[in-house]
Structure 1
Amino acid sequence: MKTRLLIAVAVMAFTTCAMGATPTTLKLQRGGTTVPTTTAVGGAPLTNLELDPAMTGGDTHDAPLGQGLGLGAQPLVNRSIAHGHAGSNRMGSATRTKSNPQLLGGFNGLDFYDTRFANGGNQFSVEPPDQGLCAGNGFVMESVNDVLSIYDRAGNKLVGPVDLNTFYGYPAAINRSTLEYGPELTDPSCYFDESTQRWFQLILTLDNIGTTSSFAGTNHLDLAVSQTSDPTGGWIIYKLPVQNNGTQGTPNHGCPSGFCLGDYPHMGADANAIYLTTNEFDFFGSAFIGAQIYVVSKHALASGAASANVVLFNTGSPLVSVVGFAVMPARSSGGHFVSLHGGTEYLLSSDAVFSSQGTSNNIWMWSVSNTRAIDTMPQNLRLNFSLVTVQPYAVPTSMAQQKAGSTPLLDCFATSCAPTFLGYPTNVYPGPRALGVNDSRMEQVSFANGMLWGTLDTDVLLADSSHGSGINYFAINPNSGVVSVNDTLSLPDANLTYGAAAVTQRGNGVIAFTVVGPNEYPSAGYAGLDAKVGAGPVHIAAAGVGPWDGFTGIPFFGSGPRWGDYGAAVVDGTRIWIASEFIAQTCTLTEYLTAPIGQCGGTRGSLGNWGTRISAISP
């Protein structure tokens, strides 16, 4: 269904919603420097510390593998507040193509093996990966939980894998010789700014108490900025505390446990500033405070200044009439920024997660104005927000079924393999396990051709009347509020999930996503996007070759199946690079048990097999 909708929004929605308080002004301090350097890949294939105890609430210092992990705790990061869906759904009707005339090429990116065995294996097993991709000046840089690599345009690896703890100057995630723990790094994001010719790499860092496996509660955004246009060279690291309890220069947002958490950080930019947004939760509880918008001087960062001005807008403040969730800042290509009102940055968010039924036909458009004042009078920046009516969307209610195939981790649990090698009790679980899908939070936002382009995942009906996941997309004129294109991209027999769109200044774009269904292994997919016809047919950039077979799909682990948390798409001149999670390997239980155990010839780890695919597309 690709109907072109023209939706005019009431003028009042664009004139009366302004934040009624002076924003909080802060300082971002320069820290150390770093150079991305490939770390050794290797280490013991299986240990009694495969998972970070701090993330699971357990203590594994002397426990056999798999015991004492405190499994079943709510994931600490990438939380949701979504409710179930009880409304109507749109039936999937998009078509597939067997050829890919727009596909310029592609290569496999980082995978579970890289993230587990980088830095000599002093890493944890991590799922899901999360996708940070950026490109420019002849380079492509990918970061996931918890490694990064840098490639040339042909896909040749120039640096990597580099574990993120080493890149940001921290001790290893786990020193397997001394059992000392480094901080937990998660949710990477990356951006290449053409106007300054600088690379920006963002991560959320959760501090430990000393070298133990217990969280201190303090957490900060670490923002690395390249010193030149070459990402393989030197970088400067800046640190921004986000526990927002009145310590380390932060405001006090009153989180019940005494520490707030800057979850799900993302990044955008205009001519004057870099925008960092987070979902603020209570660190040791479940309370949601509201999305945070941090405005940071881009010129100070690009010049390597000792400090940079920061302006913080708290959408959870009582002075704001609407609470933001996953507020996503826009990115623009080619230096095409908005100069109106002293410089303006647009952001989008959705609100179905707040509905008791998990449905909505509204999204929120936010704007930060007078951004030119960030270096001289930061207190004069202003936040405005307005309501935009779009096609109804809903929080997906069902996980994504996948095609049956070899799942050696799942098979291991059904045999003596589990107690012998993994340290878990034998149990038979049906397989392959379904994948987790996204809630309806806003995904990547682009400002291009005078329009704001965004996507979010939504509940849809499949041909067999079961529930699935599709992608709602839209293009909004930020001045008039007119929605020029808005529809749902979905297939009748498969799920599309974790969509991310990028659009060139000519108004031609690409939506990247994962395609998965009962007849399809998790595959990297994409569709064209423009303001005249909306989304085009679904293409497969790289077909999955086997089922997802990860530890969060084992009910014993409690937190539920995790797949992705976000994808990525970026404009690089006349091409668009996309990165999606998919499955690039398959093996049998016999191959899984062949030494080194669980690696299947270096294609996976004992507890997971996710991979990523990076593709170049001419829109």
Structure 2
Amino acid sequence: MKTRLLIAVAAVGAATCAFGTSPTTLKLQRGGTTVPVTTPLGGAPYASLELDPAMSAGDADSGDVGDIGSRPVVNRGLPHGHAGGNSMGTARRAKSSPELLGGFDGLNFHDQRYANGGNQFSIEPPDQGLCAGNGFVVESVNDVLAIYSSNGGKLVGPVDLNTFYHYPAAINRSTGAYGPEITDPSCYYDAGVQRWFHVVLTIDRVGTTSSFSGNNHLDIAVSQSADPTGAWNIYRLPVQNNGTQGTPDHGCAGGFCLGDYPHIGVDANAIFLTTNEYALFADGFYGAQIYVIAKRALVAGDAANVAMFNAGDPAIPAPAFTVWPAVSSGGQYATGLGGTEYLLSSDAVFYDSGTSNTLWLWSVTHTQAIDSAPSAVTLNVAPLTVKPYAVPSSLARQKPGSTPLRDCFALTGCAPTYLGYPNFVYPAPRDLAVNDSRMQQVSYANGKLWGTLDTDVLLGDGSHGSGISYFVINPDSGGIFANGTLALPDANLTYGAAAVTQSGRGVIAFTVVGPNDYPSAGYASLDAKAGAGDVHIAAAGAGPWDGFTGIPYLGDNRPRWGDYGAAAADGNRIWLASEYIAQTCSLAQYLSPPLFQCGGTRGALGNWATRVSMIGL
């Protein structure tokens, strides 16, 4: 796409500029209650309808919408250039991990596919939602949820999210009826009010058919106590933004907008949800949306005021893509200007070069007005100059190993006999995709703003790979405490997510993958003075990624790996959740009963898993 010209923003006070337009105000009503209850694993090992036909086309992150006609794709990206030339970071591999206090395998592809008696689709990539507090860990990966004690014991789960949000099953394999499509889970435990918040994007169907109606909404579950295994209240916020159901009309092509990629932030007064707005039934990006929701009302189970900012408004001189709101560490909030929430976004994807040295610092101020005068809430934004970062330019190589799905496609007669698809020969091992340079998880702790994003780096052999740019920012002045690149000479680091304790000690979680590494769960310390530390392996991968995306006939042209990771501060501990590969099996084991499941460790079309780790600081 053509280079976008950015308008300079004048520095006012804390290097921000407020806009005169008032937010759209809405009222959010409670829609019911739910209690997380384990749904049984089961169903046939493979079905003729493994993939949701309304979701299984196009390339989300490259901007390629594929051969989908009027069907949408979620987790979309933007067309962008790719850039190289960034020097390699200076990280080393740590020889030991004394901070690693424990860990356990979380949800995996097998849980996703066979939850609710098998009335689920095969889904790749997994979107990671993790939150922790009050002695509990909640993990949510589309489209399942589990609740653990702090020692890793599973208390509830897997729970399919259609059941959790009181919808029919994703696919009823007895009747063929479809339920709503749920994606992009996020979760947060607010220590200040001792409540859990869980958010998903839900896309409605036309009746029980596979077709989407166009209506889509953010479903928000709020626990009624500090115990996530108890009852939750449910709210539904429409985000099609076409003038229906109280939404403004943003003129999205095809008549319906899509509230993609929702994420949670929080200050003392409000919960903040942000989305990337696309046309649902056509091409077109319309800018990020910022929803400010009265927290006290949500905690009480009452109707809640909402102030909605369209950050794609031409009056706003910042390119608004993945504007990620900050979560608070241990109930710490910015209280200036009548209550303030900070957000960060990046802009390299808007340039033909795929490079940038600018971050955008957003703030929502006067948030204490959300309960009585939501129109008084104010949006501000300003550019920050940082070290250059770039859209990663290549796929990640991975260590050779057993890949039975790939082998079945390559073996004459195997895929047609067992999977119903033609043979297709791939090189082994297959490469997998890294993230683009969108902002990832943002935290507010110890008066500072902490964030990460993926960036292109040069590896030790001169090839391009992925590393993680990190930022520690003074949000009041715009000053930079720490800014650098975390990278290894022989492996990619991708989907970084940073969490920080109240005292300002942080950890970045990520996946490590390269020619000598199966996809592994890694982490590094993050400090406002010293920057990022050595790379630790919390759990080494057991084999290569072996999933269905990137295979012709299965709809997605890109071999997907994740959409985001997650980390959560809990006192002086930080919980991490990263995608990795926890199993390996041969083609013979893959084709042995129960078919395709390798002893209950994977499904026919995928083998992703997650590792939940506890770091003591």
Q: Unpaired segments of 5 or more residues in structure 2?
A: 1-8, 59-65
2:325 to 323, 326, 329: 329
Does the 8 Å CA contact 2:318/2:360 hold for their aligned counterparts?
Answer: no
Matched, 1:193 2:207: no
Q: Deviations over 1:432-470 (max 9, x none)?
A: 211111010000001111110010000000011111000
Does the 8 Å CA contact 2:274/2:288 hold for their aligned counterparts?
Answer: yes
2:107 to 105, 110, 116: 110
User: In the aligned structure 2, how far is the partner of 1:272 from the partner of 1:354?
Assistant: 33
- Identity, % of aligned positions: 70
The 1:464–1:95 alpha-carbon spacing in structure 2 relative to 1, beyond 3 Å, is same
Does the 8 Å CA contact 1:71/1:556 hold for their aligned counterparts?
Answer: no
1:210 to 207, 217, 229: 207
User: In the aligned structure 1, how far is the partner of 2:552 from the partner of 2:433?
Assistant: 13
Partner of 1:590: 588
Matched, 1:173 2:162: no
Matched, 1:280 2:277: yes
Matched, 1:391 2:387: yes
Shift of 1:13: 8.6
User: In the aligned structure 1, how far is the partner of 2:315 from the partner of 2:550?
Assistant: 42
Matched, 1:465 2:462: yes
User: In the aligned structure 1, how far is the partner of 2:240 from the partner of 2:547?
Assistant: 31
Partner of 2:559: 561
Matched, 1:381 2:391: no
Where do 1:334-483 residues align within 5 Å? 334-415=330-411, 416-483=413-480
Shift of 1:592: 0.2
Shift of 1:555: 3.8
SS in 1 for 2:254: coil
Shift of 1:87: 4.8
SS in 1 for 2:83: coil
2:228 to 219, 226, 231: 231
User: In the aligned structure 2, how far is the partner of 1:322 from the partner of 1:10?
Assistant: 12
User: In the aligned structure 1, how far is the partner of 2:489 from the partner of 2:69?
Assistant: 34
Partner of 2:27: 27
Shift of 1:86: 3.5
The 1:49–1:587 alpha-carbon spacing in structure 2 relative to 1, beyond 3 Å, is same
- Whichever residue aligns with residue 340 of structure 1, its letter is G
Partner of 2:61: none
Shift of 1:595: 1.4
User: In the aligned structure 1, how far is the partner of 2:464 from the partner of 2:385?
Assistant: 24
SS in 2 for 1:570: strand
Partner of 1:43: 43
User: In the aligned structure 2, how far is the partner of 1:199 from the partner of 1:95?
Assistant: 37
Partner of 1:546: 543
Shift of 1:103: 0.2
The 1:16–1:277 alpha-carbon spacing in structure 2 relative to 1, beyond 3 Å, is closer
Does the 8 Å CA contact 1:433/1:553 hold for their aligned counterparts?
Answer: no
Does the 8 Å CA contact 2:524/2:533 hold for their aligned counterparts?
Answer: yes
User: In the aligned structure 1, how far is the partner of 2:222 from the partner of 2:358?
Assistant: 36
Does the 8 Å CA contact 1:434/1:553 hold for their aligned counterparts?
Answer: no
The 1:537–1:33 alpha-carbon spacing in structure 2 relative to 1, beyond 3 Å, is same
Which segment drifts farther, 178-187 or 432-441?
432-441
User: In the aligned structure 2, how far is the partner of 1:82 from the partner of 1:512?
Assistant: 27
User: In the aligned structure 1, how far is the partner of 2:299 from the partner of 2:10?
Assistant: 40
Matched, 1:519 2:516: yes
1:128 to 125, 128, 132: 125
Q: Unpaired segments of 5 or more residues in structure 1?
A: 1-8, 59-68
Which segment drifts farther, 606-615 or 555-564?
555-564
Partner of 1:606: 604
Does the 8 Å CA contact 2:84/2:457 hold for their aligned counterparts?
Answer: no
Shift of 1:480: 1.1
Which segment drifts farther, 484-493 or 19-28?
19-28
Q: Deviations over 1:104-159 (max 9, x none)?
A: 00000000000000000000000011100000000000000100000000100000
SS in 2 for 1:160: strand
- Whichever residue aligns with residue 35 of structure 1, its letter is V
Q: TM-score, normalised by structure 1?
A: 0.95
Does the 8 Å CA contact 2:15/2:477 hold for their aligned counterparts?
Answer: no
Does the 8 Å CA contact 1:14/1:385 hold for their aligned counterparts?
Answer: no
Task: Calculate the aligned-residue CA RMSD, in Å.
Answer: 1.6
Shift of 1:316: 0.6
User: In the aligned structure 2, how far is the partner of 1:187 from the partner of 1:313?
Assistant: 21
- Runs of 4+ aligned structure 1 residues displaced above 6 Å come to 69-75
Q: Give the aligned length.
A: 600
User: In the aligned structure 2, how far is the partner of 1:163 from the partner of 1:256?
Assistant: 32
Does the 8 Å CA contact 1:329/1:445 hold for their aligned counterparts?
Answer: yes
Does the 8 Å CA contact 1:71/1:557 hold for their aligned counterparts?
Answer: no
Partner of 1:65: none
Does the 8 Å CA contact 2:84/2:393 hold for their aligned counterparts?
Answer: no
Q: TM-score, normalised by structure 2?
A: 0.95
Does the 8 Å CA contact 1:24/1:379 hold for their aligned counterparts?
Answer: yes
